[in-house]
């Protein structure tokens, strides 16, 4: 046997040995991925956008006193809801009470003087009619009456102002809303129209401010 024939025979014998050849791989079937099924529905959809924004009070005031003096009372809690006209602060009323009593006395004094001069005018008019006094004296009496009447009106105006000032020692809420914190404590000296006392904001209704980008707008 030739050498070439021996090689071919050896290869043939090796190929026929069990386990020498590769068996084909079995393909494992894969399951489909899970999914959900939903029934189609018809409905109205509102198109909307979200924007950053902030809230602002409908009304806001800084409470100040119309008269000066020493603060003797704070009559609210910080952050409380108050109604319009509620008393918030109390300023020492004694100086204003004294001014009121002084102006009341001045009104009485001016009224008494006017009554006396009125009687003088009536007598002067009677005497002038009878020729007992001259025109100058009669005119002087009429002038004194007009001056006394003006003094009485001035005293009444001062009394009205004193009454207002005494009432202003009670600092009240100019509107209903939510109070801020108190900015002064009892014993502090309040300057009329200058010293801030607290703030009040009205939250019903309320403003809403939104920032809209140019593309959406």
- 103-127 tens-digit pLDDT: 999 999 999 998 988 888 887 777 7
Alpha carbons within 13 angstroms on the beta-carbon side of residue 39 total 3
- 121 membership: H or E segment, kind and range: helix 94-129
Q: What is the pLDDT of residue 3?
A: 53
Higher pLDDT, residue 57 or 153: 153
pLDDT tier for residue 35 given thresholds of 50, 70 and 90: confident
Q: Are strands 170-172 and 69-74 parallel, antiparallel or unpaired?
A: unpaired
178, 80 contact by CB (below 8 A): yes
Over range 45-66, report the average pLDDT. Answer: 90
Q: What is the pLDDT of residue 132?
A: 64
Residue 84 has pLDDT above 90, yes or no: yes
* Six token digits for residue 108: 């009485």
Q: Which residues fall within 8 angstroms of residue 73, CB to CB, at 6 or more apart?
A: 89, 90, 186
Nearest one of 43, 54, 46 to 210, comparing CA atoms: 54
3-state secondary structure of 12: helix
pLDDT tens per residue, range 134-172: 777 777 877 888 888 999 999 999 999 999 999 999 999
Residue 94 has pLDDT above 80, yes or no: yes
pTM above 0.75, yes or no: no
Over range 16-44, report the average pLDDT. Answer: 73
Give the integer Cα–Cα distance in Å for 15 and 30.
35
Q: In what order do the strands lie in the sheet with 177-179?
A: 53-64, 196-210, 177-179, 81-82
pLDDT tens per residue, range 183-206: 999 999 999 999 999 999 998 888
Residue 21 has pLDDT above 90, yes or no: no
- E-only strand ranges, the chain: 53-64, 69-74, 81-82, 87-91, 170-172, 177-179, 189-190, 196-210
Q: What are phi and psi of 75, to 5 degrees?
A: -115, 30
Q: What is the pLDDT of residue 13?
A: 54
Residue 22 has pLDDT above 90, yes or no: no
Chain CA centroid to CA 120, Å: 60
* Six token digits for residue 16: 């026929």
Give the integer Cα–Cα distance in Å for 179 and 82.
7
Residue 4 has pLDDT above 60, yes or no: no
CA distances from 4 to 9, 13, 14, 44, 159 (A): 9, 15, 16, 88, 146
Residue 95 has pLDDT above 60, yes or no: yes
């Amino acid at each position: 046997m030739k050498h070439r024939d021996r090689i071919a025979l050896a290869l043939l014998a090796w190929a026929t040995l069990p386990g020498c050849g590769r068996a084909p791989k079995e393909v494992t079937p894969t399951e489909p991925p899970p999914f959900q099924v939903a029934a189609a529905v018809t409905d109205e959809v509102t198109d909307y956008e979200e924007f950053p924004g902030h809230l602002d009070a409908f009304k806001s005031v800084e409470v100040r006193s119309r008269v000066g003096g020493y603060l003797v009372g704070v009559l609210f809690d910080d952050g409380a809801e108050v109604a319009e006209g509620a008393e918030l602060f109390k300023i020492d009323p004694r100086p204003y009470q004294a001014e009121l009593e002084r102006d009341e006395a001045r009104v009485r004094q001016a009224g008494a003087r006017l009554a006396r001069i009125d009687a003088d005018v009536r007598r002067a008019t009677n005497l002038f009619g009878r020729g007992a006094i001259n025109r100058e004296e009669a005119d002087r009496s009429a002038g004194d009456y007009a001056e006394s009447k003006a003094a009485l009106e001035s005293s009444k105006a001062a009394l009205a102002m004193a009454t207002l000032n005494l009432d202003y020692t009670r600092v009240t809420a100019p509107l209903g809303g939510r109070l801020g914190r108190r900015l002064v404590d009892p014993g502090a000296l309040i300057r009329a129209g200058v010293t801030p006392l607290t703030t009040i904001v009205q939250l019903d209704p309320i403003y809403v401010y939104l920032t809209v980008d140019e593309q959406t707008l």
